Amino acid sequence: MDPTTDHLPRADAATSPEGPSASKERRASPTPEDPVGATDTGFRNFQRYTYWSIVSAAVVLLVLPALTGPVPFPPDPLGTASLVAVLVVVVALVRLVEHHIPRTPGSSPVSRRERHLWTIVGGIASAVVAVTWLLAEDPFLWAFAPAMVASLALASLPRRQRHLAAVLVVILLPAAGAGLGTVLGVEDAAATVITAALVAGFAITLTLATIWSWQVVVQLNDARRTAATLAVANERLRFAADLHDIQGHNLQVIALKSELAARLLRQEPTAAEHEITAIHELASDALQDTRAVVQGYRRATLSAEITNASTVLDSAGIDTQLHVDPRLNGDELPESDRHLLGLVVREAVTNILRHSAATRAVVSLAVDDRVELTVVNDGVTTELPGSVRRQPTGGGLDDLAERLHHADGSLTWGHVDDRFEVRAQLPRPRPAGTDGQPSGGGGA
């Protein structure tokens, strides 16, 4: 894998009026577009460390020996050729490193074509360095330049080819040293061969390990960014679903009561006034609920939804009966279960109001092996339309069935004789203390 700038955090050049520290703090703060922050200090520091560790190794192992080693210093022709070749090798190594590790966040990596060019240039220059240092009777340092160029070239190969090529380099570089030593008349041929093998193995291992560690960190940083982005997306979906769950029902009831008030306005002004007052109260409640949703405080709860269902259905002229197991009147159900069942009650009541001519409804909540909620109504006319079963805003029976399935529960609905029944089931909660946690959260 070759890291690109897509993997890197972007530096923000904007400054802060509060000073440099405030600017850094602001740039590092998460946003919906960049959930982990525009600059990750640890990631950027590791990038700098990895980049400069390889570059500094090239400088220390090549430039310093060229200036202080046994090769004569310019204007001697051999020394001049050696120094020029060393500088070319260093430039090539820097560009090859930048193919894998960009020098700074946001900088463009070296292209593949340019990498091939610098590999050839660096290979030729490293051969010149090797020959000049062997001519200077240095059997120990001559292999550093070709070994480092070869190690960075190997880092661009696929994994299987890389391993085979690394073995070949460790074998061929000492062989080349032995051949050059024989041709050039180097006296200590054994030292030349042994040093080449050790230097090649060291350079390849160190370089490949360093680049591999960088690529692992890039992948982990990508995974963290992906996880943070998904967390933001999930939170947006949760907020949209909660807003629909809380406001969809209120708005439906407001619409129904407005229609009723319009019909009563001429015949029964007092009753119409009562309905208009109820509409005003519902609108006020809807406004408060919206503010609470934005603050993340309010969620649909079971007891409130059952009570609200009875009130709304009664106001619509539907005789409503409630059968609630007394064992479930308190906090016996976990908060998440109460929330899900409350959404089922709300969706079922909304569908009764919109898609039936019901005169009687029964809401039952019982517990046996599982917690079971049923909402049954008469006056069924047609099957529920698809828009009711699944809605793009996050509601609908299909979506609720999926949410209950993730909670190890189930949601079914359909005709039973001349009635329509919605049935939700969830696992029975464990008694307090059996799993190290309390059995319920706040009040339902």
Which residues touch 291 (CB under 8 Å, ≥6 apart)? none
Distance CA 2, CA 120 (A): 20
Residue 110 has a CB neighbour count (10 Å cut-off) of 19
Distance CA 258, CA 149 (A): 80
At which of 195, 229, 263 does a domain end?
Answer: 229
pLDDT (0 to 100) of residue 387: 42
202 and 314 co-located in one domain: no
pLDDT (0 to 100) of residue 185: 67
185 and 312 co-located in one domain: no
165 and 16 co-located in one domain: yes
Residue 69 has a CB neighbour count (10 Å cut-off) of 16
Phi then psi dihedrals of residue 284, to 5 deg: -65, -45
At which of 194, 229, 264 does a domain end?
Answer: 229
In a domain, 189, yes or no: yes
In a domain, 257, yes or no: no
pLDDT (0 to 100) of residue 6: 37
69 and 202 co-located in one domain: yes
39 and 181 co-located in one domain: yes
| pTM exceeding 0.75 | no
Instruction: Report how many domains make up the chain.
Output: 2
At which of 229, 246, 263 does a domain end?
Answer: 229
How does pLDDT run along the chain (444 residues), one tens digit per residue? 443 333 333 333 333 333 433 333 333 434 444 444 444 677 888 888 888 888 888 777 777 776 665 555 555 677 777 788 888 888 888 888 888 888 776 666 777 888 888 889 988 888 888 887 777 666 667 778 888 888 888 888 887 787 788 888 788 777 777 777 677 666 666 777 787 788 888 888 888 888 888 888 888 888 877 876 776 677 678 777 777 777 777 787 888 888 888 888 888 888 888 888 888 888 888 887 777 766 555 556 688 788 888 888 887 778 899 998 877 655 567 888 888 898 899 889 888 888 888 889 999 998 888 899 999 999 876 655 444 444 443 457 888 898 899 889 999 998 888 889 999 999 987 655 444 444 444 333
In a domain, 248, yes or no: no
- Cα 21 to chain centroid distance, Å, stands at 27
pLDDT (0 to 100) of residue 223: 84
In a domain, 383, yes or no: yes
Distance CA 33, CA 14 (A): 17
222 and 322 co-located in one domain: no
46 and 190 co-located in one domain: yes
In a domain, 77, yes or no: yes
Domain interval for residue 14: 5-229
In a domain, 252, yes or no: no
Distance CA 347, CA 422 (A): 10
- Cα 290 to chain centroid distance, Å, stands at 28
Phi then psi dihedrals of residue 13, to 5 deg: -85, -5
Cα 124 to Cα 66, 80, 119, 134, 165: the distances in Å are 17, 16, 9, 16, 18
79 and 181 co-located in one domain: yes
Q: What is the CATH number of the domain that holds 442?
A: 3.30.565.10
79 and 204 co-located in one domain: yes
pLDDT (0 to 100) of residue 294: 65
In a domain, 333, yes or no: yes
In a domain, 240, yes or no: no
Could you tell me which residues are beta bridge partners of residue 361? 320, 377
